[in-house]
Amino acid sequence: MRLCKKTLIWDTSIKWLLVKKMFFILLFTCFIFDAPVAGKDIHVGKDHTIQTIRQGLMKAADYDRLIIHHGVYHEDSLIIDKPIEIIGKQGAIIDAQNHEVDIITIVADSVTVKGLQFRNVGTTFLSEPAAIKISKCKYVTIQNNYIQDCFFGIYVGNSRHCRVINNHAEAAFKEQVSAGNAIHAWKNKHIQIHGNRVHGYRDGIYLEFVNHSSITNNNSYDNLRYGLHFMFSNHDIYQNNTFRNNGAGVAVMFSKKIKMINNHFVHNWGGSSYGLLLKEIVGGEISQNHFEQNTIGIVAEGATRIIISDNRFTSNGTALDMKGNSIDNQVVRNNFLVNTFEVVTNTRYNQNQYMNNYWSGYSGYDLNHDGFGDVPYRPVGLFAKITNSIPAAMIMLHSPLVNLMEMGEKVFPGLTPEGLTDEAPKMKPYAYD
């Protein structure tokens, strides 16, 4: 027994020694091979020998860190063509003084730009000058920067595996035609846009030919056109974002298989405004989103095979506008709470499936107590039909006569789309969160 214990102790101590040895060997090799990667620090600032960023960039070798200290630097057209890290200390501001050029252009892989402030990039329609432009790069990280009054904020072109994280872009454009986008991504793959705050631009986030990318936890508000704009982009996901008070919340156009999960579309309000526009898109998933106080929650034009599930539509003018060219979509398990119009359509034939939603306009009964009503519900009202042909008739909203006609139509449907029914509507709203 005793012997056994001894051997055990011996055994473990030997093992421990071996592990220690291995560790040192590893550390040593790391030291040898990583030595050039660590690079040296280059300080730029008033109190340092290097006064301008341009000088600092010239001095820097691959994998160096360029540390920019407090101060306003009147520089622009800075080209970063080697893998370095640029770190702005508190109060480091680069001011382009309304020159119509990029402040920083990144053309090398593995560049990091952190903690800087950019301002005053001028407006021109010949090129698209931005505070930070990334061109044909990989593994670039743009993090914690503050961008103010620049024509374009962050422009990511022709790149892969880039990350745009926790930046704040602000502008006060007045007109759509002369405004740029806060984050503009063109022809990219695998990029990540996370935790940014963008407001006052034309589009908060604009994506064109961007595939396999994720847009998460951003806050896009008060933009003139869209909070987020997809064009010809496939297999992307956007999640946990908030789109508030934009010209229109999100536009997804000519794209395939986009996942839209747990976003907030709030108060995108106005004559021709809406929370989410789906135009010519195929596949994809819209779930767990919250549409609140939008003129129209979702406009679906030519949307095909989309699953719209577990969303909340609260206090919208129209919750869902499903145009006649949208087919094979599934609208299931959503809450429709106090929307003036629940579903609107411009066709008499229904080619989409509506199932198990909660409609606050529903007044049926549930005899077998399974939680779903026994009487099918018709979410498209007669009045919606009338206003579709005569928009001015909207002034009759909530008039007793209209309600009477609506009631008659519910009993003997004649004008509203026949097949558009929810066969088993939920009796009580789903409890989310």
Partner 1 sequence: MLKISAVILQNLLRNKAIFGYLVLLCFTGWGMFLYESQPEKAVLSILQIVLLVLPLITLIFTTTYYYHSQEFLFLLLAQPIKRSDIFAGLYIGLAIAFLAVFFIGIGLPVLLFASGMQSLFLLLSGLLLNLVFIAIALLVGVGVHDKSRGIGVTLITWAFFAFIYNGLVIFMMYQLSDYPIENLILVLSFLNPVDIARIMVIMKSEASALLGLSGAVFQDFFGTAKGGVVSILALILWSIIPFWITHKMFRKRDL
Interface with partner 1 (CB under 8 A): 269-273, 293, 295, 315-318, 337-338, 340-341, 360, 386, 389-404
With beta carbons less than 8 A apart as the criterion, state whether 234 and 208 touch.
Answer: no
The nearest distance, CB 406 to partner 1, in angstroms, is 12
- Rounded (5°) CA angle 143-179-118: 30
Nearer to partner 1, 166 or 340 (CB): 340
Comparing CB distances to partner 1, the nearer of 9 and 392 is 392
How is residue 418 written in tokens?
């026949």
- To partner 1, the closest distance from the beta carbon of 360 in angstroms equals 6
Distances (CA, A) of 28 to 39, 131, 201: 17, 41, 51
If the CB atoms of residues 107 and 405 are measured against partner 1, the closer one turns out to be 405
Could you tell me the smallest distance in angstroms from the CB atom of residue 398 to partner 1? 6
Closest to partner 1 by CB, 123 or 360: 360
- Nearest distance in Å: CB 322, partner 1: 17
Q: Which helix (H) or strand (E) holds 402?
A: helix 400-411
Closest to partner 1 by CB, 392 vs 411, is 392
Sheet order of strands, 152-157 included: 78-80, 104-106, 130-135, 152-157, 183-189, 205-211, 226-231, 248-253, 276-282, 296-304, 318-322, 341-344
Least separation in angstroms between residue 393's CB and partner 1 is 5
DSSP E strands in 241-381: the ranges are: 242-244, 248-253, 259-261, 264-266, 276-282, 285-287, 290-292, 296-304, 307-309, 312-314, 318-322, 330-332, 335-337, 341-344, 353-355, 358-359
**Residue with smaller CB distance to partner 1, 239 or 293:** 293
Residue closer to partner 1, measured from CB, 201 or 341: 341
Q: Phi first, then psi: what are they for 250, rounded to 5°?
A: -135, 140
When the beta carbons of 19 and 431 are compared against partner 1, the nearer one is 431
The alpha carbon dihedral of 51, 57, 58, 62 has a sign of positive
What's the CA gap between 428 and 372, in Å, rounded?
Answer: 8
User: Least distance in Å: CB of 407 to partner 1?
Assistant: 12
Pick the closest to residue 251 from 222, 230, 223 (CA basis).
230
Smallest separation, CB 277 to partner 1 (Å): 16
CB of 315 to partner 1, least distance (A): 6
Q: How far is the CB of 317 from partner 1 (least distance, A)?
A: 4
> Residue 117 or residue 273: which is nearer to partner 1 going by CB?
273
Q: How far is CA 348 from the centre of its chain?
A: 34
Q: Which residues pair with 53 in a beta bridge?
A: none
Between the CA of residue 375 and those of 107, 364, 366, 367, 380, what are the distances in Å?
A: 63, 6, 8, 10, 15
